[in-house]
């Protein structure tokens, strides 16, 4: 289905995740973050870039992987993306919801 995000029509699935990563840009990510009550900082963008890199390399994402990444510790990850950090961060990053998320 289509959703109007950051002044463009974006294809999303029924959970709001982008179905075509090529449609993602920083404005789209910022708009999605705002919809979830997150005010993006440089630290948020660092995490988003890390997640996108993992996605491009077809590496599975998990909280355990984030913990071992050296990019961010789990406590900070939860404070940056409260209420389901992996689900929210991947949605903002424009990548599919990880299989480890329910």
Per domain, the residue ranges of the chain are 2-93
Q: Which positions are annotated as active-site residues?
A: 101
Write the pLDDT tens digit of every residue in 41-96: 999 999 999 999 999 999 888 888 888 888 999 999 999 999 999 999 999 999 99
Say if residues 19 and 10 touch (Cβ distance below 8 Å). Answer: no
Q: Is 102's pLDDT higher than 70?
A: no
Count of CA atoms in the C-beta half-sphere (13 A) of 93: 25
Cβ atoms of residues 94 and 52 within 8 Å? yes
Choice among 20-24, 28-32, 50-54, 96-100 with the minimum mean pLDDT: 96-100
The predicted model scores a pTM of: 0.93
Q: Is the pLDDT of residue 99 over 90?
A: no
Question: What are the backbone dihedrals phi and psi of residue 12, each rounded to the nearest 5 degrees, phi first?
Answer: -130, 160
H/E run at residue 42: helix 42-56
């Amino acid at each position: 289905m289509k959703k109007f995000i950051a002044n463009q029509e974006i294809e999303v699935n029924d959970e709001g995740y982008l179905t075509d990563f090529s449609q993602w840009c920083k404005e789209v990510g910022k708009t999605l973050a705002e919809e979830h009550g997150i005010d993006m900082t440089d630290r948020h963008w660092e995490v988003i870039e890390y997640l996108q890199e993992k996605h491009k390399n077809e590496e599975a994402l998990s909280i355990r992987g984030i913990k071992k990444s050296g990019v961010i510790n789990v406590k900070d990850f939860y404070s940056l993306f409260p209420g389901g950090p992996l689900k929210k961060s991947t949605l903002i990053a424009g990548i599919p919801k990880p299989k480890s998320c329910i």
